[in-house]
Each structure stands twice: as structure tokens, then as C-alpha cells.
């Protein structure tokens, strides 16, 4: 029942896809949101999603990854202050 390995040669994701990220800052902000979700919210994606919904609603025509950036900035504001050493 296993899929033949040759399938990997089909390169499907690109044939029918687009570049995932257009610029390095987009993959960075994507990864940062994932890191905060994992490491500050225990993997709960809802806090970030709610910020993203707000960011998109605030400026619907803004480019997507810029809304993503605004959402992450707003999410970071909600993090508890770092304890002083």
C-alpha cells in the first residue's frame, strides 16, 4: 500500500503552486509567529489567529504578510513583561 518513492520526482507542490514566500522577511515573520505560538502559548494558535483576523479587518487591502507582521506585533504586546534578572 505504500506510495512509490518515484512520486517524489513529480515535484507537484511547485508545478501547481506559487513561491511560498516572496522575500526572506516573509518567511522570517512566518517562523516568528510559529515560534511564539509554540513557545509562549503552548502551541495554541488561537491568540495569533485572533490578532490576524483583527489586523486583516483593520486594513483589508494591506498585503497579507504585512498584516501578519502587524498581528505578531500586537500579539507580542500581550506577552507578560520579561522578569528582570
Partner 1 sequence: MNEKGHHPAPLSPVEQRVAALEALLTERGLVPEGFIEEITRRYESEIGPLNGAKVVARAWADPEYRERLLTDGTAAIAELGFGGAEGDHMVVVENTPAVHNVIVCTLCSCYPWPVLGLPPSWYKDPPYRARMVREPRALLAEMGCPLPGDVEIRVWDSSAEVRYLVLPQRPPGTGGLSEGELAGLVTRDSMIGVARL
Reference 76, options 42, 35, 23, 43; nearest CA is: 35
Q: How far is the CB of 78 from partner 1 (least distance, A)?
A: 13
Q: Which of 61, 74, 78, 85 binds partner 1 (CB under 8 A)?
A: 61
- Please answer whether residues 36 and 76 qualify as being in contact, where contact means their C-beta atoms are separated by less than 8 angstroms: yes
Query: How many other β-carbons are positioned within 10 Å of the β-carbon of residue 31?
Result: 11
CA distances from 64 to 16, 18, 49, 77, 79 (A): 21, 15, 13, 20, 23
Q: How far is the CB of 1 from partner 1 (least distance, A)?
A: 8
Q: Which of 16, 42, 84, 85 binds partner 1 (CB under 8 A)?
A: 16
Query: Does 82 contact partner 1 by CB under 8 A?
Result: yes
The cell numbers describing 79, all together, are 506577552
Chain residues binding partner 1 by CB under 8 A are: 1, 3-4, 6-7, 10, 12-13, 16-18, 20-21, 25, 27-32, 34-36, 39-40, 43, 45-46, 49, 52-53, 56-57, 60-61, 64-66, 69, 72-73, 76, 79, 82
Amino acid at each position: 500500500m505504500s506510495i512509490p518513492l518515484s512520486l517524489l520526482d513529480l515535484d507537484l507542490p511547485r508545478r501547481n503552486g506559487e513561491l511560498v514566500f516572496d522575500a526572506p522577511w516573509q518567511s522570517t515573520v512566518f517562523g516568528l509567529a510559529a515560534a511564539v505560538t509554540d513557545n509562549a502559548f503552548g502551541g495554541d494558535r488561537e491568540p495569533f489567529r485572533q490578532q490576524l483576523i483583527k489586523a486583516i479587518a483593520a486594513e483589508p487591502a494591506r498585503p497579507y504578510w504585512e498584516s501578519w507582521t502587524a498581528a505578531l506585533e500586537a500579539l507580542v504586546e500581550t506577552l507578560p513583561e520579561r522578569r528582570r534578572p
